[in-house]
A and B are shown apart, each in its own frame.
Chain A
C-alpha cells in the first residue's frame, strides 16, 4: 500500500488507538506499547494541566513516539468544539479530532456543526480530523474545509457492532483526496481488517480494546489484524467468483 501521510506525519502503522475506558494508566501504557500505534486520541476533558492527579492519561503516553490527537468529545456544537481545540492548541496540541455529538444516546456526529468546526480549526492551522457519519458528500465538504483526513463511523461509538456503513465508506474511499480513517463501532480485529480491505487508510478503535478482558492482548490482536489486511492488499487478492475454481484444474483436452 502507498505510504500513509496525514498532515505532516507519515505512519507505518495503520492502527490508531483511543485512550478512554482503560482500568489504569499502566494498562493504557501497556496497550499502547502492544499496539505499536503511532497516533492516539485523548479527550481534553481528561487532560490535567498543571495539577496532575492520578488519572491523567498523558502520563501513559510517550509523546516522542506517539502523536497525540486531542478530541472534542463532550462538545455539543461547533463553538464548544473550537473552544476545546483552542485550549488544546494553547497547551501544545496541534492535532484535533472534531467530535460533535449532541445526542447523548447514540453519540452520532452533528454534520452541520462538525463542518463548521473543521473550517474554523483548519484556519487556526491545526491538523483536523473530523469524526463524521459515513456520508460521502459531507466527507467532501470536510475535505474542502481543510480536513487532513476524514473519519467516517462504522457504527455508533462503543457499540462494537462493526462496519454497518460499508457501502457508504466504499464511496468515501473512492472519492476522497485525503486519507480515510474508519472510526467508531469497530468491535473486533476482523472489523478492523475489513475496513482496510475495503480501502480505508487506517482504523481507530478504543472500546474494543479498553473494555476487553485483556486489553493488552487485544491491542496486539488489532495491530496484527490491520497489518494482515494491509499485507493481503499488497499481495493482490484474486477476484471472487460465483462458481468453484478447482485448486488443481483437471483439463479434459490435450
Chain B
C-alpha cells in the first residue's frame, strides 16, 4: 500500500469486500467525499450503481471543467533505458526495440508536426538514461519546446528537487510519474534492476516536483500489475497526501492499462472496461477538482464516452516511438513503440468526435509567458 497509509493490504481488501449497498448509496449522496467513500465506490457492491455514478460524475465534471476537453500529445524524445521493467518494451534487455534519441533538430521537427495539428500542450517522454537525459539536456529541450507550445509536461526518470527546479524554470509546468504498483513486494519483482528499483525515490517524485514549483502532478499505477481496487486505494491516498503537502499544485490522475507486449509479458491482474470505468467515475466523484487524463491506450468508443463523465483531458494522434510524427516518415514501425495504441484516429478525427458530443476542444489552457 501507499506507505503513509496506516492500513495494510488485508485491511483494505477486507473493507472493500465488506461494503454494503447502503454504504455506496450514502457515499453517492454525500457532498464531500473522503478516502472511505472512494473505497465504497470502488467496491463490487458499487457495480450496480455505476449508472448513478455516471450521472453524478457528469454533473461534477461539468461543474469543474465545463463542456470542454483539453487535448495534448506525447513527444517521445528517446527510448534508451537502463531499467529492467518486466512489462515494458523499452527495458534494456529487450533487444527487439530499435533505440533512438532524437537530436534537438529532430525534436523541433517532431514538435512542429504536432503543433500543426492544433495541439498546444505537450508531454515530453523519455526512457531512463542518465547519460543522455541529463537535467541540463532536458532543460534545453524545455527551452526549445516552450517557444512552440503553451504548456509543457514531463514524463521522464525521477529527478532531484533541484533538478525539478531547473526544469520548471526551463518551461516544464507539469509532471507525470507512474508508481506502476504501490505494492512494495510486487514493485521489487517488476523492477529487478536499475535505478527504478528504488521504490521510495520514485514515490516521492511528485513531492519533490511540487516543492520545486510544478503545477500539475500526475500520478498513476499501471493497471494490470496488482489488484486494481487495492492499487486504486493507494493511488487515492497518495493524492490526498499530495493535496496536503503540495497544496499549490493540482493532482492529475491517469489510468494506464498495460497491454501484452512483445516480450510476452502477460498482465497478472487484467482490468476490463467496466472496471476501468467504475474506477474513473469513483475518482471523478471523490476528487472533483483533480485533472484526469485518458490516453490513446484506450479505444475510441471508451475515450469518447469517458470524457463526458470523468476525464477532462485526452491525447490525440499519439505516436509512442521517438521520431514517430515526422522524423521517421514512412519507415515508422510498431516494433519500437513503448506499448500498443488502441486509438489510431488522427487528431482532427478525435476533435470532431469531441465536438459531436457537444464539448469544446481546448487547445490552449496555459500561457508559456507566465
A151 CB–B CB distance under 8 Å: no
Known: A23-B67, A55-B364, A210-B67. A87 touches B369 (CB 8 A): yes
Interface size for B (C-beta < 8 A) is 32
CB contact between A102 and one of B247, B289, B351, B355 (< 8 Å): that residue: B247
B113-164 residues at the A interface, CB under 8 angstroms = 118, 120, 150
Assembly CA distance A158 to B61 (angstroms): 11
Closest to B64 in A: A158
Q: Are B363 and A53 in contact (CB under 8 A)?
A: yes
Nearest chain A CB to B68's CB is how many angstroms away?
6
Nearest chain A CB to B362's CB is how many angstroms away?
5
Assembly CA distance A93 to B274 (angstroms): 48
Please choose the segment from A75-83, A118-126, A219-227 that sits at the chain B interface, where 4 or more of its residues have CB less than 8 A away: A75-83
Residues on the A chain within 8 Å of B243, using CB: 104-105
Residues on the B chain within 8 Å of A103, using CB: 247-248
Closest to B248 in A: A102
Interface string of B54-86 (1 = CB under 8 A from A): 000000001111111000000000000000000
Please choose the segment from A2-10, A40-48, A232-240 that sits at the chain B interface, where 4 or more of its residues have CB less than 8 A away: A40-48
Interface string of B340-370 (1 = CB under 8 A from A): 0000000000010001001111111111011
CB contact between A84 and one of B66, B150, B370 (< 8 Å): that residue: B370
Closest to B61 in A: A211
Q: Are B66 and A207 in contact (CB under 8 A)?
A: yes
CB contact between B360 and one of A24, A107, A158, A211 (< 8 Å): that residue: A24
B209 CB–A CB distance under 8 Å: no
B165 CB–A CB distance under 8 Å: no
Q: Are A54 and B363 in contact (CB under 8 A)?
A: yes
A131 CB–B CB distance under 8 Å: no
Nearest chain A CB to B202's CB is how many angstroms away?
23
Q: Are B364 and A23 in contact (CB under 8 A)?
A: no
Known: A54-B361, A104-B289, A105-B289. A22 touches B66 (CB 8 A): yes
B310 CB–A CB distance under 8 Å: no
Q: Which of A53, A75, A107 has the most CB of B within 10 A?
A: A53
A111 CB–B CB distance under 8 Å: no
Q: Are B363 and A84 in contact (CB under 8 A)?
A: no
Known: A76-B248, A102-B248, A105-B247. A21 touches B363 (CB 8 A): no
Assembly CA distance A158 to B243 (angstroms): 19
Assembly CA distance A24 to B63 (angstroms): 16
Closest to A207 in B: B63
Nearest chain B CB to A210's CB is how many angstroms away?
5
Q: Are B370 and A75 in contact (CB under 8 A)?
A: yes
Interface residue SS majority, chain A: loop
Q: Which of B249, B351, B362 has the most CB of A within 10 A?
A: B362
Assembly CA distance A23 to B351 (angstroms): 13
CB contact between B361 and one of A46, A55, A210, A211 (< 8 Å): that residue: A55
Residues on the B chain within 8 Å of A27, using CB: 67
Assembly CA distance A105 to B288 (angstroms): 9
Interface string of A46-77 (1 = CB under 8 A from B): 11100001111000000000000000001110
Residues on the B chain within 8 Å of A83, using CB: 369-370
A92-110 residues at the B interface, CB under 8 angstroms = 102-105, 107
Q: Are B249 and A46 in contact (CB under 8 A)?
A: no
Residues on the A chain within 8 Å of B365, using CB: 45-46
Q: Are A74 and B370 in contact (CB under 8 A)?
A: yes
A160 CB–B CB distance under 8 Å: yes
Residues on the B chain within 8 Å of A76, using CB: 215, 248
B250 CB–A CB distance under 8 Å: yes
Nearest chain A CB to B173's CB is how many angstroms away?
10
Known: A20-B66, A23-B67. A46 touches B248 (CB 8 A): no
Residues on the B chain within 8 Å of A102, using CB: 247-248
Residues on the A chain within 8 Å of B370, using CB: 44-45, 74-75, 80, 83-84, 87
CB contact between B355 and one of A24, A56, A80, A207 (< 8 Å): that residue: A24
Assembly CA distance A53 to B359 (angstroms): 15
Q: Are B367 and A211 in contact (CB under 8 A)?
A: no
Assembly CA distance A48 to B215 (angstroms): 21
Q: Are B63 and A45 in contact (CB under 8 A)?
A: no
CB contact between B364 and one of A46, A80, A105, A207 (< 8 Å): that residue: A46
CB contact between B63 and one of A25, A87, A160 (< 8 Å): that residue: A160
CB contact between A53 and one of B65, B66, B250, B364 (< 8 Å): that residue: B364
Assembly CA distance A118 to B37 (angstroms): 41
Known: A160-B63, A211-B63, A211-B66. A55 touches B363 (CB 8 A): yes
Nearest chain A CB to B243's CB is how many angstroms away?
6
Q: Which of B64, B150, B251, B364 has the most CB of A within 10 A?
A: B364
Q: Are A45 and B355 in contact (CB under 8 A)?
A: no
Task: Return the 5 tightest CB-CB contacts between A and B, nearest first.
Answer: A21-B66, A23-B67, A104-B250, A102-B248, A53-B363
Q: Can you report 6 residue pairs joining A to B where beta carbons are below 8 Å apart?
A: A21-B62, A23-B358, A23-B359, A80-B370, A102-B248, A104-B247
Q: Which B residues have a C-beta under 8 Å from some C-beta of A?
A: 62-68, 118, 120, 150, 215, 243, 247-251, 289, 351, 355, 358-367, 369-370
